[in-house]
Amino acid sequence: MIINLPFSALRAFEAVVRLSGFSAAAMELGVSQSAISQHVKALEEWLGQDLLIRGARRSQPTREGEQLARAVSDGLGRISDVCAQLRDRTRSENTIVISCLPGFAFTWLFPRLLNFDTNHPHLAVSIVTDTGQHPFSAADADIGIRYGLGDYPGFHVEHLMHETLTPVCAPSLLEGPPGLNVLDDLALHTLLHDENESFGTAAPTWEFWARNCGLSLPKPLKSRRFGQSNLVVQAAIQGLGVALGRKPLVIDALRDVRLVRPFAEITQSPLSYWLVVRHDRTESAKVQDFSAWIRAEVLAEPPLPEPALLKN
């Protein structure tokens, strides 16, 4: 007999355990942190067991919680494998599905896809966006474009492109008061932050940029944090603050001067972009077509524009 299981609560709980926190689980599942907390609480009440030891920064499963999380993970993994096999049987060879982060999709991939469509009219491209915090699933896509350190066991992985870091802002921040002429002027502005909690000390933060460039950051007037990189870029374009620009995400906005570089210092991010493909799909014609196209786009990428000429 199969009892009626609270699948939404089980999925939320498994994500909390795997990602060691409610915030990361909420980001992955696309719901609020409050919703995740309510799911876990309801699951604990339904089972009559405490499943988590809650901490300020990190939540750890109890013995019973670890046992349940492992069972949920194993079960969902088997279901995912079956779904992948079923979808493989029906997925048209004339459609290629790409999985990537929303920020990368909106700011870099979408503006270039017309080139691919023009050169490959026999292929239809579908984009699936996710947080990238869970392993690439072949049930969702033919190719994954992942952002991180390149550790994706069980898949064919190719390095796609490095990422460089440099501050960017709207031209209006340079022209009007209080101005932005030297690094200490950042104290008069809002710093925009891209939250990359899942990468820990490897995250390309403002502090990482300053440290690698031998600089000391002043305390900003205020800070604003965003959960998606495309929101950071858009906030900078609208003049809401100064962002740490991540090439390739800001290259188009810099080229058409929606953004400018106030400072010359650049450093390479510890993270990169990677092509992730299931081993048995590497010989697929459509996978090879897309891989060759995107690598050519990367090679054609122009360098960052020079820093803006600042007014005295």
Write out pLDDT tens, residues 178-229: 888 889 999 999 999 987 656 777 788 999 999 999 999 998 878 998 888 8
CA–CA separation, 198 and 211 (whole Å): 20
CA–CA separation, 245 and 205 (whole Å): 10
Q: What SS3 state is found at 249?
A: coil
User: Which residue pairs from 306-311 have beta carbons closer than 8 angstroms and sit at least 24 positions apart in sequence?
Assistant: 306/261, 307/260, 307/261, 307/262, 307/263, 307/264, 308/171, 308/174, 308/260, 308/261, 308/262, 310/174, 310/180, 310/181, 310/262, 311/174, 311/175, 311/179, 311/181
Using an 8 Å Cβ cutoff, are 37 and 22 in contact? yes
CA–CA separation, 239 and 247 (whole Å): 19
pLDDT at 60: 83
- Report all structural domains of the chain as residue ranges with CATH numbers, in order of start: 7-88 (1.10.10.10), 93-161+272-299 (3.40.190.10), 162-269 (3.40.190.10)
Q: pLDDT tens across 233-259, in order?
A: 999 999 999 999 999 999 999 999 999
- Higher pLDDT among residues 289 and 94, named by residue: 289
- Name the pLDDT band for 312 (thresholds 50, 70, 90): very low
On the question of pLDDT at 57 being above 70, the answer is no
pLDDT, mean over the chain: 85
Q: pLDDT tens across 94-134, in order?
A: 889 999 888 899 999 999 998 999 999 989 898 888 766 55
